[in-house]
Amino acid sequence: MSEGSKRRLKLWIRLLSVTRGAEAHLREFLRVRHGSTLPRFDVMAALYRRRDGCSMSELSRMLLVSNGNVTTVVDRLEADGMVERRPSEADRRTVFVSLTPQGLQHFEVLARDHEAEVAKIFAGLDDADVDALTEIMKRAAKR
């Protein structure tokens, strides 16, 4: 096994550790301060970016989770009045999901606090680190 593969393995372990730590922190934050969860936040964030709504499949691709998963999270959000389903008229297989006005309002509060919390988590990195990291991540994503 090559030297390079060991270095990449080490990198992966660190990456995972940082990401999981941050996720745990954000989950706790959402739970305690907003009575919400990470998957709910993720779905709402995706719908906030796609303000006109998007299909379940698109949602699943954006979030890198299974489509069955999207169904159950959207089910709960719908039950809470945060999102709504709307059947496509062009293709009756497709279902469009979008934030309700209430969901939009709720998310904007959530997003503001979430951004501040993320900034807190990465406060230990200076601006040069942030830029370098973002750049490298962009390259790592291309596969």
Partner DNA sequence: GCGAACAATTTCAAGATTAAAACTTTTATG
Partner DNA sequence: CATAAAAGTTTTAATCTTGAAATTGTTCGC
Q: Which stretch binds its own copies (CB under 8 A): 69-77, 82-90, 96-104, 131-139?
A: 131-139
Among 28, 113, 115, 131, binds DNA (CB under 7 A): 28
- In sequence order, the β-bridge partners of residue 85 are 97
Q: Is 38 in the site for DNA (CB under 7 A)?
A: yes
Q: Is 109 in the site for its own copies (CB under 8 A)?
A: no
Q: Which of residues 28-67 bind its own copies (CB under 8 A)?
A: 64
Among 5, 32, 68, 79, binds its own copies (CB under 8 A): 5
CA–CA dist 74, 59 (Å, integer): 10
**E strand map for the chain:** 54-55, 83-87, 95-99
Q: Which stretch binds DNA (CB under 7 A): 10-18, 54-62, 108-116, 127-135?
A: 54-62
Q: Letter for the amino acid at 64?
A: L
Strand order in the sheet with 95-99: 54-55, 95-99, 83-87
Distances in whole angstroms, Cα of residue 47 to Cα of each of 76, 85, 109, 125: 15, 12, 15, 29
- When the beta carbons of 28 and 108 are compared against DNA, the nearer one is 28
Residue ranges in contact with its own copies by CB under 8 A? 1-2, 4-12, 14-24, 64, 112, 115-116, 118-119, 121-122, 124-125, 127, 129-134, 136-143
